[in-house]
Chains A and B, each alone.
Chain A
């Protein structure tokens, strides 16, 4: 049992706000108006603006492009998406991340890129975001625990980001690593999993147009409990593949061992594609409970590849998905 979260944000409020001109655009307009007159102070405004643009959860991301990959289904409420999370770094209960990630500071944030690529290095969050324009992707999310949501992410296509690092011909996989810092992620003090959290994709999966690096939710900066400041989203795989709070991207020749696979190899594999025909050893994956359908909601059938088969099925032709779960 729990108390209702205090800060209630209605979905309508959020979308409305995303439609407003944001501060940056406003300043740009203002800048045009005063152009030439006050060049030096305009530069100062830019500096001030850069500070204001820091990724504070809940801040509007401004205009984001819509995408044909988005589902037309009604997204879950902001409250559901931000109070019911699996983010073990902040506790194993579903409401723990909402409670324990409040003070998590994501600024400054850098990502180290290494391995089989020609542009390794340590990149600042802002620098990474410049790889591509922000897009809204309203995706289904299917958790391995047989529940699901519809989530309006904001992010950039992963392919656009990864291409900037110029992966070489030996790069067959991409390995992602979550921040390890028990002072900031308190549940890392206990060895529930082998920290830091690690996930991996084949290079083809990572470059698939569905795959994004998400930095926002409902038009706003990603809340901490949802994996701030940047996280992977692979909507045709179980949620645990979509690793959060990424600090390292590594191009590898060998298939990475992801954290859940290492923890229970007979229950969680490398691919973890949503598949109603391959049950988890302890529960069925044939149906899922859609969060937000209340006490009398009926479970719905789970779709192969979470319904994204037309975009991804070709990646697995010839692969025995019962064996490579």
Chain B
């Protein structure tokens, strides 16, 4: 039998995870203002867009890793970090979208609309973002209680959102697909573990 950490320990851990998850954003702010030798380089908008997108995807995968880790390790208290990690994923993806809409496109609605309709990788991105919005909105304890079983059903949207997110990345690289392949493999493993548990206990 494993004992869960005390509430105080968990709270301290949460603060640490929160701070760590905020670090990429802190570095991006430093780089934006060229503080501490950091820089966004020659194409700052692209750099912000790419960094935010990649961190969004990373946190999405980290969030999806919580349940498999819990199952395998038996550390049930890990689930207490899931909401925070998921909201960080949503935060970075929102920044990613805002950089695109405000800085890259300067809110030019015509070109944004054209992008969404004509560029399949943008279509995938926007669909993924639209799937994540209701998840962020219903992430509170109150909403969880209110929705009951439907909450679980709704939050399964995170699976297609993650698949579309990786696909979105894959579709816009020019030739070097190593990075999206790594994300795709990790996602496949995380989803595969779920499938494995589901097949083993079909009653669930």
Known: A1-B38, A193-B175, A289-B43. 7 other contacts (CB 8 A): A1-B31, A1-B51, A2-B39, A2-B40, A2-B41, A283-B119, A289-B45
Which B residues contact A (CB, under 8 angstroms)?
Answer: 27-28, 31-32, 34, 37-48, 51, 103, 106, 111, 114-115, 118-121, 171-172, 174-176
Q: At the interface, is chain A mostly helix, strand, loop or mixed?
A: loop
Is A292 at the interface (CB under 8 A from chain B)?
A: yes
Is A29 at the interface (CB under 8 A from chain B)?
A: no
Is A166 at the interface (CB under 8 A from chain B)?
A: no
Q: 15 pairs across A/B with beta carbons < 8 Å?
A: A1-B38, A2-B31, A2-B47, A3-B38, A76-B42, A80-B42, A92-B176, A95-B41, A147-B46, A282-B171, A284-B119, A289-B43, A291-B43, A295-B44, A298-B106
Partner of A291, one of B27, B42, B121, B172: B42
Asked whether A263 and B175 contact (CB < 8 A) given A1-B47, A84-B43, A296-B103, the answer is yes
Q: In the complex, what distance in Å separates the CA atom of A88 from the CA atom of B173?
A: 13
Contact with B along A276-312 (1 / 0, CB 8 A): 0001001110010101101111110000000000000
Partner of B27, one of A1, A79, A292: A1
Judge whether A282 and B172 touch: CB under 8 Å. Answer: yes
Give the nearest-CB partner of A259 in chain B: B175
Q: In the complex, what distance in Å separates the CA atom of A56 from the CA atom of B176?
A: 31
- Chain B contacts for A296, CB-based, 8 A: 103
Which A residues contact B (CB, under 8 angstroms)?
Answer: 1-4, 76, 79-80, 83-84, 88, 92, 94-95, 145, 147, 192-193, 263-264, 279, 282-284, 287, 289, 291-292, 294-299
Q: In the complex, what distance in Å separates the CA atom of A92 from the CA atom of B178?
A: 11
Give the nearest-CB partner of A85 in chain B: B42
Identify which of B31, B41, B45 gathers the most chain A CB atoms within 10 Å of its CB: B41
Partner of B39, one of A3, A92, A289, A294: A3
Q: In the complex, what distance in Å separates the CA atom of A1 from the CA atom of B43?
A: 11
Asked whether A83 and B40 contact (CB < 8 A) given A282-B119, A282-B121, the answer is no
Q: In the complex, what distance in Å separates the CA atom of A298 from the CA atom of B104?
A: 8
Q: In the complex, what distance in Å separates the CA atom of A296 from the CA atom of B121?
A: 24
Give the nearest-CB partner of B48 in chain A: A295
- Chain B contacts for A192, CB-based, 8 A: 175-176
- Chain A contacts for B171, CB-based, 8 A: 282
The smallest C-beta distance from A112 to any residue of chain B, in angstroms, reads 27
Identify which of B38, B45, B121 gathers the most chain A CB atoms within 10 Å of its CB: B45
Q: In the complex, what distance in Å separates the CA atom of A279 from the CA atom of B117?
A: 14
Q: In the complex, what distance in Å separates the CA atom of A95 from the CA atom of B44?
A: 13
- Chain B contacts for A3, CB-based, 8 A: 37-39
The smallest C-beta distance from B173 to any residue of chain A, in angstroms, reads 9
